[in-house]
Structure 1
Amino acid sequence: MRFHTRKWVKPEDLNPNESLFGGRLLQWIDEEAALYAIVQLENKRVVTKFMSEINFISSAKQGDIVEIGIVPTTFGKSSITLRCEVRNMVSRQPILTIEKLVMVNLDEEGNPAPHGKTKVEFVKDRVDRN
């Protein structure tokens, strides 16, 4: 699993229990999943279709730095399915897992569209082939 993004837990990210608000963490995950799908599918028109069970394992506190990891598990005709892990950067303690995040590739009219991708591509490889 590659951890692409780090977030610093600030006071505005806390719930009344003084731990990271779950909704804020899900916002960060949704954004990271969208960015990952946009880069992989080479299309800025990508939406979240589905998130499976969200497993909160532990919490993060103010001042913690959390890392968000995304890995693709399946390339569909018009979708990409991802798995997500979030952990504390310093302790490596897991905070959350989501087994299945489905992102859908859209055309200009907002309809699901085939993307033609079958495997992970890195930007450096796309540049090298041109």
Structure 2
Amino acid sequence: MRFLTRRLVLPSDLNYGDSLFGGRVLQWIDEEAAIYAICQLETNYLVTKHIGEITFEAPALKGDVIEFGLETKKVGSSSITISCLVRNKATKKTICFADDIVFVQINPETRKPVAHGKNLEQLAQATAKEIETLNVSVSNR
């Protein structure tokens, strides 16, 4: 699982119990997973079709930095299925896990599903290549 983004829990993100509001984290999960799917399939024409089981395990509090881990679970002819783990950056404690987030590529005019032409192996190779290009050493100046 690759942890790609982070967010700071602000006072406006809290519920009545002074912890991260579940609806806010679900919004962030959908957004982060959509961005991940867009990058994987190289298209903006995706819609969220399904979000499976979501398990909340620990609270996030004001000032916590949380991070989103994403991975491709399955690839269909017009869909991609993703898992998302949200955890506390400092403690690595799981805040919640969303499984089976499905996005479908659509034709922007007809709004009907269309094949994206990718498979799991291709996406894994592209990800490995991307990671390799990011692993550049930084020299001290």
Name the TM-score, length of structure 1 as normaliser: 0.92
Q: Deviations over 1:39-89 (max 9, x none)?
A: 111110111100111100011000000001110011001000011101000
Superposed CA deviations along residues 25-46 of structure 1, whole A, max 9, x for unmatched, are 0111100111011111111011
Aligned pairs, number? 126
Give the whole-Å Cα distance in 1 for the aligned partners of 2:6 and 2:43: 24
The letter of the residue matching 1:80 is: I
Superposition map of 1:10-89 within 5 A:
10-89=10-89
Distance in 1 separating the partners of 2:17 and 2:9: 14
Unaligned runs of 5+ in 2: 134-141
Q: Which range is displaced more, 102-111 or 4-13? A: 102-111
Report deviation, 1:107. Answer: 1.2
Q: Is 1:122 aligned to 2:127, yes or no? A: yes
Secondary structure at 2:85 match in 1: strand
SS at match of 1:112: coil
Give me the CA root mean square deviation: 1.5
1:108: Cα distance to partner? Answer: 2.0
3-state secondary structure, aligned to 2:15? coil
Shift of 1:124: 5.7
Higher-Rg structure is: 2
Matches within 5 A, 1:97-116: 97-109=97-109, 110-116=111-117
Q: Distance in 1 between matches of 2:128 and 2:32?
A: 17
Higher relative contact order (CA 8 A, sep 6+): 1
After TM superposition, the score normalised by the length of structure 2 is: 0.85
Q: After TM superposition, which residue ranges in structure 1, 4 or more long, deviate above 2 angstroms?
A: 121-125
